[in-house]
Amino acid sequence: MNEIVDQLLAGPPVGASEGELVDWISRLEEVKCVAEAVQAEAAVRLEDAVRTRQAEAGVPARKLGEGVASQVALARRISPAKGASALGLAKVLVAEMPHTFALMKAGLFSQWQATILARETACLSVEDRRVIDYQLCALDPGGEPPAVVSMGLKQLENAAKKLAITLDQESVVARAASAEKDRRVSVRPAPDTMTWLGALLPVKDGVAVYAALDQAAKAAQAAGDERTRGQVMADTLIDRVTGRAGTEGVKPRIEVKIVMTADTLTNDSNQPAMIEGYGPVPAGWAREALNDAEVFVRRLFTDPAGQLVAMESRARRAPDGLAEFIATRDGGICRTNGCDAPIRNVDHVERHADGGATSAENLQGLCERCNQAKEALGWQARPGPDGSIITITPTGHTYTSPPPEAWQPEPPPLSTAEFVLRDVLLDHDLAA
């Protein structure tokens, strides 16, 4: 790292003026842009090296490059999905958008600005993408930065869209038509035991759903309902999706899993409980949830070390087996460092073909992407004695995924009554 960058990263001197501090912030932003460009270049070279090594080892052509995105993600401490996006963007910038890449290396363009241009030109041919790259991002003969550098993000997006439509309207229209295949629903935690529920829908459907909820809110408020418009819309969405407001007494079966100690259940402890797919919740809130007649709640108990030991279902059905146990133990979230994707596969940490046992100690929950990356040439993993997962990438870098319970508060000492309850539940589960 050169001397100027070292000085910048050391921070502004004490007593720096307001103008100097603004200059410092601006220069650091330039350094970030350059670093993102160099990082992208390194990712492309890494993939080239991995593909060469894999080809020499006889890996089939369709599998060349497997695991690279996951290595990028681990190195950058981001999710594997974001790692794949970062690698994909890097390849596009280096191979197809040289002027955009040059702006980044000059410290004038951020990775997010480059992402917008790459996204809005993704449906075009390489030739048309290069035309837009040149028209928007090429420096003028005098070396002056193009206007795109000072555009807002929405302006930048609109400029790229306009050029894309001008160059190849058919491809843009076809892309819009195929986007319906990407419709989906997502959920993520929000503060204070709340969640963000989102849906990516075709515009006509999304607008129709919102209009129906808005209409319900207006009708409720006209009838004197004291709830706010937002509260009525949220409650209506819940009622209509879950069927709680259904007719003829027919209601769908909804199940929520809550992990807690027996002392928390019996009001002897205020240790936080865990909701699968969400995270920690206050003990009092969890106890109230168990009384919700509209939802089947599956209670799961832990031992003093926080390890899951037994299940009991208000829905009156036995636990579904080891795979469900693993998914619940791991919190429903992929065990790979930095990955927040939901579990889709129960995977042998040490491969079954290598003698790995099909046991709770040697199983982990992984998403589809991480499960495939782990099977690439040169990847190894082993379970740690404390329930952690140790992953070694082909370059020899080691990453440790902590045990699922490691971030939970230390539970209180197990009471005699809880030991008895645990043993009864375990006997019940084993018999089932």
Candidates 333, 375, 368; CA nearest to 352 is 375
Rounded-to-integer distance, Cα 332 and Cα 22, Å: 44
Which is more confident, 78 or 268? Answer: 78
Region 122-145 average pLDDT: 91
Highest averaged pLDDT of the listed ranges 56-70, 186-200, 212-226: 56-70
Rounded-to-integer distance, Cα 123 and Cα 132, Å: 13
Candidates 324, 322, 300, 321; CA nearest to 311 is 300
Rounded-to-integer distance, Cα 131 and Cα 134, Å: 5
Region 175-187 average pLDDT: 85
Region 343-351 average pLDDT: 87
Evaluate if residue 141 carries a pLDDT over 90.
Answer: no
> Quick check: helix, strand or coil at residue 260?
strand
Going from the C-alpha of 315 to that of each of 25, 80, 190, 238, the distances in angstroms are: 57, 36, 28, 21
- The percentage of the chain sitting over the pLDDT mark of 90, rounded to a whole number, equals 37
Lowest mean pLDDT among 79-88, 170-179, 218-227: 170-179
User: pLDDT tier at 140 (50, 70, 90 boundaries)?
Assistant: confident
The separation between CA 292 and the C-alpha centre of its own chain, rounded to angstroms, equals 30
pLDDT in tens, 45-88: 999 999 999 999 999 999 999 999 999 999 999 999 999 999 99
pLDDT value of residue 406 = 36
Which is more confident, 358 or 63? Answer: 63
Sketch the domain layout of the chain as residue ranges: 3-178, 184-242, 255-318+408-431
- The percentage of the chain sitting over the pLDDT mark of 70, rounded to a whole number, equals 78
Which is more confident, 12 or 86? Answer: 86
How high does pLDDT run on average in the chain? 81
Lowest mean pLDDT among 206-210, 247-251, 327-331: 247-251
Amino acid at 105: K
| 202 φ, ψ (degrees, to nearest 5) | -55, 145
pLDDT value of residue 265 = 65
How many residues can be counted in the chain?
A: 432
3-state secondary structure string across 25-86 = HHHHHHHHHHHHHHHHHHHHHHHHHHHHHHHHCCCCHHHCCCCHHHHHHHHHCCCHHHHHHH
Residue/partner pairs of 80-88 with CB below 8 Å, 24 or more apart: 80/334, 80/336, 80/338, 80/339, 80/341, 80/367, 80/369, 80/370, 80/373, 81/339, 81/341, 81/369, 84/369, 86/40, 86/43, 87/43, 87/44, 87/47
| 197 φ, ψ (degrees, to nearest 5) | -105, 125
Give the other-Cβ count within 10 Å of 67's Cβ.
21
pLDDT value of residue 258 = 72
Evaluate if residue 295 carries a pLDDT over 60.
Answer: no
401: tokens are: 């995924």
DSSP-assigned states of every residue in 300-363 = EEE-TTS-EEEEEETTS-----HHHHHHHHTTTB--STT--PBP-EEEESS-GGGT--SSGGGE
Going from the C-alpha of 178 to that of each of 160, 202, 205, the distances in angstroms are: 20, 10, 15
Which is more confident, 1 or 271? Answer: 271
Evaluate if residue 302 carries a pLDDT over 80.
Answer: no
Amino acid at 10: A
